[in-house]
Amino acid sequence: KEVDYIITNPPYGIRLSYREELKKIYKYLFYQADYILDNNGKIVLITPQKKLTLENANKYKFELIHKRKVWNGNLEAYVFIFQKCD
């Protein structure tokens, strides 16, 4: 079944001791989003992992349609909105 939107707050990686585990999580997030989102569906996420997010979004051909820097307490984070592209 396909959905129009995914809204998520994935792990920030602050408590994860292994960078490779964080990479797997973000890769799997976009892999699954690509699978479940309808054509032109959107994924919205908040994360401090800017580079990791953009790399995986590009890998699975998601187009960045909005980015905003925000503060989650004293932690700099970003709200991203990506659209699935065919």
Query: From residue 76, how far is each of 20, 58, 86 by CA, in Å?
Result: 22, 22, 32
Q: What CATH topology corresponds to 3-84?
A: Rossmann fold (3.40.50)
Residue spans of the domains in the chain: they are 3-84
CB atoms within 10 A of CB 10: 16
Q: What is the pLDDT of residues 18-57, one digit of tens each?
A: 778 889 999 999 999 999 999 999 999 999 999 999 999 9
**Averaged confidence pLDDT in the chain:** 92
**Band of residue 86 on the pLDDT scale cut at 50, 70, 90:** confident
Q: What is the pTM (predicted TM-score) of this model?
A: 0.90
**Band of residue 81 on the pLDDT scale cut at 50, 70, 90:** very high
